[in-house]
């Protein structure tokens, strides 16, 4: 979340920049500034009262020794009155602090100056693209029909076991899924990311730390008995490794990668966009997470975007990178690049990765800091990206590589899955 310092020192800029996210912050910012004035005045008054209590309390013993019982009694009464006053000030202070916290978590992160204006995905900008667009036969099949033809994925069995959006991968479909996971993890390791294996459920503090709570609780699966949440992405547990941690300057950047199953309710999703693997409630993904100093974070973002580009290139998929407009960005992001691959049989682009810089927004919630060369603690910048999400990658691989002999496997995956064609 934004810091009080940023809001107090630059209220006009905060309001202006958030307009790019189509968020009117004027009323909230003004209320926060008003409450912060109450908080600071209450704190000043409380410090004065506590100091006076301390001073008078110290004098009571001397008054008694000097036989000034009446003055000592009067001093005790004064202390009692001041203590009541301190309780009222403490209550006012806590009330202001609580209200400020409640308001701060409702304000999105400030968009970076390079974020384009816009209200929806139609306003995103294409940064660059690459790859060869496949040319398929007229009778080419979408991936859900290919999955059935070659017995790779059973969507109906998933409905029987759990419900819609929980497919069962079978045979070469399961092996190809595992091959992609290992391929992504090996590439991440070679690029300098340390692999971790995180829990698949998190507590509410972890959800708050990365911004899923209180903004997205409706999209998360909640284990009510234990008050835990199934993770929507490995970003949540991996980034929370550094919650309440002070890193040393020499240890930055932190670069982690993790495979996990991901769980999303996807409430409100419907239509052709949810067919087959296009939108699932459970899916596999390899995530990359970086933590760095503020002055390095945008160079780190460029590095992460370039890294994800190498993955789609190695998989021989047509790809493009989008710079998201303000209206299509997440609540917590300062700048996001989406990767899309072309699905030839569906004749549409499918999002397979989002790479984002959150600047200090998550770090402020997490209390993730580092000591600079002067031993002063500063908030870190956090970044993360999908590298990659499997369902739509698999969909595009199946569709784009179908031939009359079967489905061709990209060369880089053959050592991982042990076959070069699905027939």
Instruction: Please give the distance of CA 345 from its chain centroid, rounded to a whole number.
Output: 32
Say whether 352 counts as a known binding-site residue: yes
Residue 384 labeled ligand binder: yes
266 is in an annotated binding site: yes
Residue count of the chain: 423
- Three-class SS state of 75: helix
- CA separation for the pair 269, 386 (Å, rounded): 21
Task: Answer yes or no: is 233 a known binding residue.
Answer: yes
353 known member of a binding site: yes
Is 265 annotated to bind ligand? yes
- Per the annotation, does 59 bind a ligand? no
The secondary structure of residue 402, as a DSSP letter, is: B
| Rounded CA separation 166/95 (Å) | 45
Label each residue of 205-274 as H, E or C.
HHHHHCCCCCCCHHHCCEECCCCEEECCCCHHHHHHHHCCCEEEHHHCCEEEEEEEEEECCCCCCCCHHH
287 marked ligand binding residue: yes
**Which residues contact residue 199 at a Cβ distance below 8 angstroms, ignoring those fewer than 6 apart?**
231, 237
How many whole angstroms separate alpha carbon 170 and alpha carbon 217?
32
Q: Residues forming the annotated binding site for ATP?
A: 264-266, 351-354
Q: Residues forming the annotated binding site for L-serine?
A: 233, 264, 287, 384
């Amino acid at each position: 979340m934004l810091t009080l310092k940023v809001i107090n020192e630059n209220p006009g800029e905060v309001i202006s920049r958030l307009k790019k996210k189509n968020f009117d912050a004027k009323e909230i910012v003004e209320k926060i500034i008003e409450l912060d004035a109450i908080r600071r005045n209450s704190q000043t008054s409380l410090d004065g009262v506590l100091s006076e209590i301390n001073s008078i309390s110290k004098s009571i013993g001397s008054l008694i020794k000097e036989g000034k019982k009446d003055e000592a009694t009067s001093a005790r009464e004064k202390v009692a009155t001041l203590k009541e006053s301190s309780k009222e000030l403490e209550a006012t202070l806590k009330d202001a602090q609580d209200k400020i916290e409640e308001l701060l978590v409702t304000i999105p992160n400030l968009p970076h100056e390079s974020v384009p204006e816009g209200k929806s995905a139609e306003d995103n900008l294409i940064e660059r693209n690459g790859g060869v667009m496949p040319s398929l036969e007229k009778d080419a099949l979408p991936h859900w029909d290919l999955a059935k033809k070659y017995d790779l994925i059973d969507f109906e069995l998933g409905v029987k076991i759990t419900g819609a959006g929980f497919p069962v991968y079978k045979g070469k479909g399961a092996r190809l899924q595992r091959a992609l996971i290992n391929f992504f993890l090996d590439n991440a390791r070679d690029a300098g990311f340390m692999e971790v294996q995180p829990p698949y459920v998190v507590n509410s503090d972890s959800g708050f730390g990365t911004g899923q709570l209180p903004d997205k609780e409706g999209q998360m699966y909640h284990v009510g008995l234990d008050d835990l949440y199934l993770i929507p992405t490995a970003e949540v547990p991996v980034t929370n490794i550094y919650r309440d941690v002070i890193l040393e300057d020499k240890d930055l950047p932190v670069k982690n990668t993790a495979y996990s199953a991901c769980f999303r309710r996807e409430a409100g999703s419907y239509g052709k966009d949810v067919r087959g693997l296009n939108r699932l409630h459970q899916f596999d993904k390899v995530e990359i997470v970086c933590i760095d100093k503020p002055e390095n974070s945008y160079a780190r973002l460029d590095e992460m975007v370039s890294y994800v580009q190498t993955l789609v290139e190695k998989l021989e998929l047509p790809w493009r990178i989008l710079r998201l407009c303000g209206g299509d960005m997440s609540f917590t992001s300062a700048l996001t690049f989406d990767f899309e691959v072309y699905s030839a049989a569906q004749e549409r682009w499918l999002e397979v990765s989002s790479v984002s810089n959150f600047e200090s927004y998550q770090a402020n919630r997490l209390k993730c800091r580092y000591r600079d060369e002067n031993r002063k603690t500063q908030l870190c910048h956090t970044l993360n990206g999908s590298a990659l999400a499997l369902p739509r990658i698999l969909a595009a691989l199946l569709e784009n590589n179908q031939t009359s002999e079967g489905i061709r496997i990209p060369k880089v995956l053959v050592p991982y899955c042990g076959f070069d064609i699905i027939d």
